[in-house]
Structure 1
Amino acid sequence: MEKAASPRASDIAYDKIRQFVLSGRAEPGQQLTEEQLARISGVSRTPVREAVRRLENELLIVRSDSKRLFVADWSADDIDEMFVLRGMLEGHAASRAARNISGRQVEELGRISDLLDAAVRCSPPDVTAFLAQ
């Protein structure tokens, strides 16, 4: 019987740092250090560096000209533009997917939608549960 591969340290760091940023525990514009991120994620600084690169690509963390790390601070216009573009892309992808979806997949989407609704209805909203879907 084959054992499941355990998650890589950089994947653990990525998940924990991403959750730290998206949960609101990190303020927009807040400076971050590799040492702080290593403590948050429970891994050494080397996997944190790889995780930070991924988060920079997702524009959740930005690096200044002096190479310091900060939580991205998006303006309302930036966010609005991202949602418009994302809506266009996701609408196109959903249209293509709908042509090939099975009944079982529709049921699974309904289950996930219910979980997302429940996470949003919590007071305060359960960001962790929302992002897990």
Structure 2
Amino acid sequence: MGRPADAIYLALKSSIQTGRLAPGEHLVEENLRAEYGVSRTPVRTALRRLSEDGLVTIEANRGAFVASWTDSDATEVMAIRSMLEPYAAQLAAERRTDEQLAQLHQLCDRMEGSAKGQAAGFRDELAHDNHEFHLLVLQCAASPRLYGIAVNLARAPMMLGSFQLYSDHQLTRSLQDHRELVNAIAQRDAAAARAIMEAHLRLSYLALTAPGSGHRGG
């Protein structure tokens, strides 16, 4: 894949994963060609790759659309994450470095500050930092195979946008979970880290599947 297609792929992938492009949104080839100043080929190449990632659906005679997610999708992704990430948290408590621990504390501080200040777009900032937090826990586990499997699930669009669905109470509880998890990792308490991550992911699943959450496809 050539460089223009790479750039388009990465830009669209970021927009989908951060929610700037909504589920079901039509990705019109002509509009993308004009936006990126390229020919049809790199646009189509990028859309095909996004389709292979499960982020875009391509329909004959209709074009490309941002993929929608159903309750079944949420259930499947969260079920797998609930098996992998608690184990990653357990390993993180055993294997983290002091530098990684400091980074986890910094992310908690930043998220708590965003939630307290509630500036415009603060939930978008929280979603970004939450994503970085979960990736860092996976990195702390120091297991390349585990990271390679779990990272794609953590990057699923419905995961990245979950903070938009949280009630104020759920948001507060989620940030408390983060702080408690980091404390367990700091103390190298593997059992506690695993249990906290399990409870944390249950909260995320409840938010994703609540009536009116808006992630469902047709």
TM-score normalized with structure 2 length? 0.45
The 5-angstrom pairing of residues 99-110 of structure 1 reads 99-110=94-105
Instruction: Name stretches of at least 5 consecutive residues in structure 1 with no aligned partner.
Output: 1-7
Greater fraction of residues in helix: 2
Q: Does 1:71 align with 2:66?
A: yes
Question: In structure 2, the residue corresponding to 1:63 is in which secondary structure?
Answer: strand
Match for residue 16 of structure 1?
Answer: 11
Task: Please state how far the C-alpha of 1:61 moved relative to its aligned partner.
Answer: 0.8
Match for residue 147 of structure 2?
Answer: none
Match for residue 130 of structure 1?
Answer: 128
Deviations 1:23-69, CA, capped at 9 Å, x for gaps: 444332232233333444x2524443443344223321112255831
Q: Percent of aligned positions with the same letter in both sequences?
A: 32
Instruction: Name stretches of at least 5 consecutive residues in structure 2 with no aligned partner.
Output: 133-218
Task: Please state how far the C-alpha of 1:114 moved relative to its aligned partner.
Answer: 3.6
Question: In structure 1, the residue corresponding to 2:8 is in which secondary structure?
Answer: helix
Match for residue 4 of structure 1?
Answer: none
Alpha-carbon RMSD across the aligned residues, in angstroms, is 3.3
Task: Please state how far the C-alpha of 1:119 moved relative to its aligned partner.
Answer: 5.6
Task: Please state how far the C-alpha of 1:21 moved relative to its aligned partner.
Answer: 2.4
Match for residue 87 of structure 2?
Answer: 92
Contact 2:111/2:126 (CA < 8 Å) preserved in 1? no
Match for residue 111 of structure 1?
Answer: 106
- Give, as a single letter, the amino acid of the residue that structure 2 aligns with 1:36: N
The 5-angstrom pairing of residues 9-48 of structure 1 reads 9-40=4-35, 42=36, 44=38, 45-48=40-43
Q: Larger relative contact order (C-alpha < 8 A, sep ≥ 6)? A: 2
Match for residue 81 of structure 1?
Answer: 76
Distance in 1 between residues matched to 2:49 and 2:109, nearest whole Å = 30
Q: Does 1:52 align with 2:55?
A: no
